[in-house]
Amino acid sequence: MPLQKPYYRCLILVLIFTFCASLSVFAQKTREQLEREKSENQNKIKEIQNILKQTSSQKNVNLGQLRALNQQINTYKKQIDLLSDDLDLLDKELKVLEKKQQELAASLAKVKEEYGRMIYEASKRNAYLNQLVFLFSSGTFNQFVLRYKYLKQYTEARQGQVKEMEVLEAQLQSERRRITSKKTQQKTVLDTRLTESTKLEGLKTKQNEVIQELSQKEVELRKQIAENKRATDFLEANIRRIAERERRERLEREKKEREEREARRKVERERLARENAEREKKGEAAVVAEPKEEEPVVSSGGMNEEETTLASSFTASQARLPWPVKGFISGHFGQRPHPVLKGVMVDNLGVDIQTSAGDPVRSVYDGVVLDVTQMPGMGSVVAIQHGNYMTIYAKMSGVSVRPGQKIKARENIGRVATDSDGTSELQFQIWKNTSRLNPENWLIRR
pLDDT band for 310, please (50, 70, 90 cuts).
very high
pLDDT at residue 298 greater than cutoff 80: no
Lowest mean pLDDT among 38-47, 50-59, 160-169, 234-243: 160-169
* pLDDT, mean of residues 291-310: 67
pLDDT at residue 1 greater than cutoff 50: no
Facing residues of 42 across strands? none
- Which among 56-60, 272-276, 387-391 has the top mean pLDDT? 387-391
Q: How far is it, in rounded angstroms, from Cα 9 to Cα 19?
A: 15
Q: How far is it, in rounded angstroms, from Cα 44 to Cα 40?
A: 6
Closest CA to 428 of 417, 439, 419, 436: 439
The per-residue pLDDT for 3 is 44
Average pLDDT, the chain: 82
Q: Higher pLDDT residue, 152 or 376?
A: 376
Lowest mean pLDDT among 140-149, 217-226, 259-268: 140-149
Other C-beta atoms closer than 10 Å to the C-beta of 358 total 12
pLDDT at residue 138 greater than cutoff 70: no
* pLDDT, mean of residues 257-279: 82
The per-residue pLDDT for 286 is 67
pLDDT (tens digit, 9 = 90+) per residue, 312-343?
999 999 999 999 999 999 999 999 999 899 99
pLDDT at residue 127 greater than cutoff 80: no
* pLDDT, mean of residues 195-214: 91
The per-residue pLDDT for 15 is 46
Contacting residues for 359 by C-beta, under 8 A, at least 6 apart: 325, 326, 327, 415, 416, 424
**Overall pTM surpassing 0.85 (yes/no):** no
The per-residue pLDDT for 152 is 64
Contacting residues for 48 by C-beta, under 8 A, at least 6 apart: 68, 71, 72, 75, 328
* pLDDT, mean of residues 117-125: 60
Strands of 19-66 (E only): list them: none
Homologous superfamily of the 219-245+312-441 domain (CATH):
Glucose Permease (Domain IIA) (2.70.70.10)
Q: Are 328 and 44 in contact (CB under 8 A)?
A: yes
- Which among 119-123, 251-255, 418-422 has the top mean pLDDT? 418-422
The per-residue pLDDT for 237 is 93
Q: How far is it, in rounded angstroms, from Cα 350 to Cα 437?
A: 7
Q: Where are the domains of the chain?
A: 7-215, 219-245+312-441, 254-304
pLDDT at residue 26 greater than cutoff 80: no
Amino acid, res. 93: E
